[in-house]
């Protein structure tokens, strides 16, 4: 049923928190995700033309990189993105067959591949690009939050986490119940002012992103010593005046 | 958005087909259409063929066409499901109306009532088609108030031009129909121009900064993409059309889809006999070409928020 389940008091909302401050952009989470899920609940995650000139395939987790700011203040931010398991997932409600659904018990958004007709409308309805089409099987696939790991009795308890969280070498990924305000992960979101992606669209993503911290060191000490910098180009008189004003104001 | 030809064809053909069906369902009970079983047969066959081949072509778009019957189940939440349900429902009263009209020459009473019900259901079906697109928040060029009126007006325009041509084939000068076609072409043109103005002058509230929750240091921009080759997201949602081409195609859509059909309808209004039929036929042919280009552009010019993650600054 693609109507959303009614939210209960104390609703469990399993999801991820991604720390943009410490993600180093190593793509280990994307690789581990592909490795686990190509043998898991949504198996396989096919690759097309894998050794050819235009290899492409289905991945549930993609690592983008952005820059913000300009000049000395600029920084690079690595940005992993997977399904956000939204509280208002339009990908579920647009589904004409009932293949897309949101689980009442933990909020995980899944696809029942045995009844998906491959109309792709859910991928149009997702603002985040979380769903990828399996052109071999003609059905839509997506992140399952490693549902076959987190409830898997055959795994030792410490391994019952999504593959992307397990593998992260810098602990930039956290997994837990974001519906419980006292959970460690909710506290982390609270302390670090975790943010939603595209909150203006009203999908209410469960996954949160922790913004990069502001500088902990004064900007000047982070700069190269003046001897290591290239000499500034000769300045026009107007530039000199502006630079003097700039120095005056920066004091 | 990638303009899949199956969907471009589906939405234009089924829009015109359902509109023609609605016009027949209303026109026959009111006694506005030519008498005789042959006109009824040809006109209804044309309407049903347009609507049904459109629906059939949309099934080709599916990854698993053999499961398409499942799409009738989620009408509570899904506009796509609602469209499927209403499309099929439309054919039930159409069958009664068609058999009664074609074989028994009946256009009143129960048969006429079925025609009116079919007309209402056909209109609802086209409304649902429009809502499939208008309900998608990630696509600013679709999620706006001009989309559903466009679908309704452009469908009605196609249906009217087809009906005017068919009526003239039965050697009936229908001044009222030509006048109505002219008015609807002009109204549809106005709606489409307003739509184009809207998408040219506005963009989505979402930006690369809101998509990444970054920006405290200033401008956010793509540094590296996650993959060097294309993926499903870029193939499906990352379609880009050069502004130059879009402008040229819009000119063609304007000319073939609106200007020439308006001229053709105007000519058909003052001409009767064979010249009037030729004018109405040319108006229909031009409109068909123009509508397919218009619909192709409707997809090609639509920008999805996922492209913000791949280098678009605004959508």
What is the DSSP code string of B207-258? BHHHHHT--TTS-EEEEE-S-SS--HHHHHH-----HHHHHHHHHHIIIIII
Q: What angle do CA B310, B313, B314 make, to 5 degrees?
A: 110
Q: Which residues contact B186 (CB under 8 A, 6 or more apart)?
A: B258, B262
Q: Hey, are the CB atoms on A57 and B231 less than 8 Å from each other?
A: yes
Q: How many CB atoms lie within 10 A of CB B256?
A: 20
Which residues on B lie below 8 Å from A76 (Cβ)?
A: 223
- Residue B242 has a pLDDT of 82
- Residue B14 has a pLDDT of 95
By the CB < 8 Å criterion, does B200 face chain A?
no
Q: Hey, are the CB atoms on B231 and A79 less than 8 Å from each other?
A: no
Tokens of A86: 């939204």
Helix, strand or coil, per DSSP, at residue A174: strand
Mean pLDDT of chain B: 95
Query: Mind giving me the DSSP string for A77-128?
Result: EEEEE-----SS-HHHHT-SSS-EEE-TTT--EEE-TTT-----HHHHH-TT
Pick B213's closest partner by Cβ from A96, A123, A211. Answer: A211
How far is CA A26 from each of CA A22, A32, A65, A119, rounded to the nearest angstrom? 11, 11, 11, 34
pLDDT tens across A169-223, in order? 999 999 999 999 999 999 999 999 999 999 999 999 999 999 999 865 555 555 6
Tell the burial category of B243 from Cβ atoms under 10 Å away from its Cβ (0-12, 13-18, 19+): exposed
Min Cα distance A111 → chain B (Å) is 14
Asked whether the predicted pLDDT for residue B302 surpasses 80, the reply is: yes
By the CB < 8 Å criterion, does A20 face chain B?
yes
Tell the burial category of B24 from Cβ atoms under 10 Å away from its Cβ (0-12, 13-18, 19+): buried
Do β-strands A14-19 and A208-210 pair in parallel, antiparallel, or remain unpaired? parallel
- Distance, CA of A35 to CA of B31 (rounded, Å): 68
Query: With contact defined as beta carbons under 8 Å apart, do A4 and A13 qualify?
Result: no
Which residues on B lie below 8 Å from A212 (Cβ)?
A: 214, 216
Of residues A247 and B303, the one with the higher pLDDT is: B303
Which residues on B lie below 8 Å from A99 (Cβ)?
A: 70
The residue among A56, A124, A197 with the most chain B CBs within 10 A of its CB, best to mutate, is A124
Q: What is the dihedral of CA A69, A71, A73, A79, to 10 degrees?
A: 40
What confidence tier does B57 reach under pLDDT thresholds 50, 70, 90? confident
What is the mean pLDDT of the segment spanning B31-39?
A: 90
- Residue A222 has a pLDDT of 57
- Distance, CA of B310 to CA of B222 (rounded, Å): 7
Tokens of B244: 């130059």
- Residue A227 has a pLDDT of 66
What confidence tier does B61 reach under pLDDT thresholds 50, 70, 90? confident
By the CB < 8 Å criterion, does A188 face chain B?
no
What is the mean pLDDT of the segment spanning B68-93?
A: 96
Min Cα distance B309 → chain A (Å) is 7
Place of tokens 């130059």: B244
Q: Hey, are the CB atoms on A65 and B79 less than 8 Å from each other?
A: no
- Distance, CA of A17 to CA of A165 (rounded, Å): 10
Secondary structure percentages of chain B, helix, strand, coil, to 5: 75, 5, 25
The secondary structure of residue A160, as a DSSP letter, is -
What is the mean pLDDT of the segment spanning B256-275?
A: 94
| Dihedral pair phi/psi, residue A107, rounded to 5° | 80, 5
Lowest mean pLDDT among A227-241, B186-200, B270-284: A227-241
Asked whether the predicted pLDDT for residue B72 surpasses 90, the reply is: yes
Tokens of B79: 């506009």
Asked whether the predicted pLDDT for residue B99 surpasses 70, the reply is: yes
- Residue B237 has a pLDDT of 95
Pick A201's closest partner by Cβ from B138, B212, B236. Answer: B138
Of residues B12 and A218, the one with the higher pLDDT is: B12
By the CB < 8 Å criterion, does B65 face chain A?
yes
Q: Which residues contact B124 (CB under 8 A, 6 or more apart)?
A: B86
Domain boundaries along the sequence of chain B: 1-135, 174-213+233-315
Place of tokens 């930006």: B207
Place of tokens 């200007």: B259
Residue of A nearest to B309 (CA): A64
Domain boundaries along the sequence of chain A: 14-210
Which residues on B lie below 8 Å from A2 (Cβ)?
A: 74, 76-78
Asked whether the predicted pLDDT for residue B310 surpasses 90, the reply is: yes
Min Cα distance B158 → chain A (Å) is 26
Could you list the pLDDT tens digit for every one of the 251 residues in chain A? Answer: 678 988 888 899 999 999 999 999 999 999 999 999 999 999 999 999 999 999 999 999 999 999 999 988 899 999 999 999 999 999 999 999 999 999 999 999 999 999 999 999 999 999 999 999 999 999 999 999 999 999 999 999 999 999 999 999 999 999 999 999 999 999 999 999 999 999 999 999 999 999 999 865 555 555 666 666 666 666 676 777 877 887 777 76
Which residues on B lie below 8 Å from A54 (Cβ)?
A: 229-230
Lowest mean pLDDT among B51-55, B68-72, B143-147, B191-195: B51-55
Which residues on B lie below 8 Å from A117 (Cβ)?
A: 62-65, 67-68, 70-71
Q: Hey, are the CB atoms on A198 and B236 less than 8 Å from each other?
A: no
Q: Select from 3.30.70.20, 1.20.58.220, 3.50.30.50, 3.40.50.280 the CATH code of A14-210.
A: 3.30.70.20
- Distance, CA of B277 to CA of B164 (rounded, Å): 8
What is the mean pLDDT of the segment spanning B278-284?
A: 96
CB < 8 Å from A in window 135-154 of B? 135-139
Query: With contact defined as beta carbons under 8 Å apart, do A63 and A29 qualify?
Result: yes
């Amino acid at each position: 049923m693609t109507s959303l389940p009614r939210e209960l008091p104390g609703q469990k909302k399993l999801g991820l928190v991604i720390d943009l401050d410490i993600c180093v952009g190593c793509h280990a989470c994307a690789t581990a995700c592909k490795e686990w899920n190509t043998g898991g609940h949504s198996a396989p995650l096919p690759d097309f033309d894998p050794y050819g000139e235009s290899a492409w395939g289905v991945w549930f987790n993609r690592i983008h990189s952005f820059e913000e700011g300009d000049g000395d203040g600029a920084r690079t931010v690595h940005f992993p993105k997977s399904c956000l398991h939204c509280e208002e997932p339009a990908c579920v409600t647009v589904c004409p067959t009932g293949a897309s659904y949101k689980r009442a018990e933990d909020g995980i958004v899944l696809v029942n591949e045995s009844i998906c007709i491959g109309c792709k409308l859910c991928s149009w309805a997702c603002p985040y690009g979380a769903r990828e089409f399996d052109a071999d099987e003609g059905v839509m696939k997506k992140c399952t939050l490693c549902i076959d790991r987190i409830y898997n009795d055959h795994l030792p308890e410490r391994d019952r986490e999504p593959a992307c969280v397990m593998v992260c070498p810098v602990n930039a990924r956290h997994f837990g119940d974001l519906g419980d305000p006292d959970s460690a992960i909710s506290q982390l979101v609270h302390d670090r002012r975790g943010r939603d992606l595209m909150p203006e669209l009203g999908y209410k993503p469960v996954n949160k992103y922790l913004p990069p911290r502001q500088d902990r060191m004064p900007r000047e000490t982070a700069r190269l010593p003046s001897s290591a910098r290239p000499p500034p180009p000769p300045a026009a008189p107007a530039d000199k005046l502006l630079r003097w004003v700039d120095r005056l104001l920066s004091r | 958005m990638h303009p899949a030809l199956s969907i471009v064809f589906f939405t234009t053909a089924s829009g015109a087909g359902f509109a023609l069906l609605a016009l027949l369902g209303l026109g026959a009970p009111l006694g506005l259409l030519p008498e005789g079983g042959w006109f009824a047969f040809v006109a209804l066959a044309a309407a049903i063929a347009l609507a049904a081949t459109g629906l059939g072509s949309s099934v080709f778009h599916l990854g698993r066409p053999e499961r398409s019957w499942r799409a009738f189940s989620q009408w509570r939440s899904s506009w796509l499901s609602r469209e499927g349900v209403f499309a099929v429902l439309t054919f039930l009263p159409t069958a009664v109306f068609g058999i009664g009209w074609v074989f028994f020459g009946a256009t009143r009473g129960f048969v006429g009532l079925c025609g009116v019900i079919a007309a209402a259901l056909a209109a609802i079906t086209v409304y649902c088609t429009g809502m499939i697109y208008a309900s998608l928040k990630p696509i600013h060029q679709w999620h706006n108030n001009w989309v559903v009126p466009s679908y309704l007006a452009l469908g009605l325009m196609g249906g009217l031009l087809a009906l005017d041509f068919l009526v003239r084939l039965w050697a009936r000068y229908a001044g009222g129909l030509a006048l109505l076609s002219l008015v609807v072409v002009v109204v549809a043109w106005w709606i489409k121009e307003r739509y184009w103005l809207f998408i040219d002058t506005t963009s989505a509230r979402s930006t690369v900064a809101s998509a990444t929750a970054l920006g405290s240091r200033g401008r956010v921009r793509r540094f590296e993409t996650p993959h060097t080759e294309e993926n499903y997201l870029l193939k499906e949602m990352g379609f880009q059309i050069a502004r130059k081409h879009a402008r040229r195609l819009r000119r063609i859509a304007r000319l073939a889809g609106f200007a020439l059909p308006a001229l053709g309808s105007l000519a058909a209004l003052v001409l009767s006999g064979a010249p009037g039929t030729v004018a109405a036929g040319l108006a229909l042919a031009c409109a068909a070409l123009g509508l397919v280009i218009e619909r192709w552009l409707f997809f090609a010019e639509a920008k999805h928020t996922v492209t913000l993650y791949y280098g678009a600054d605004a959508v």
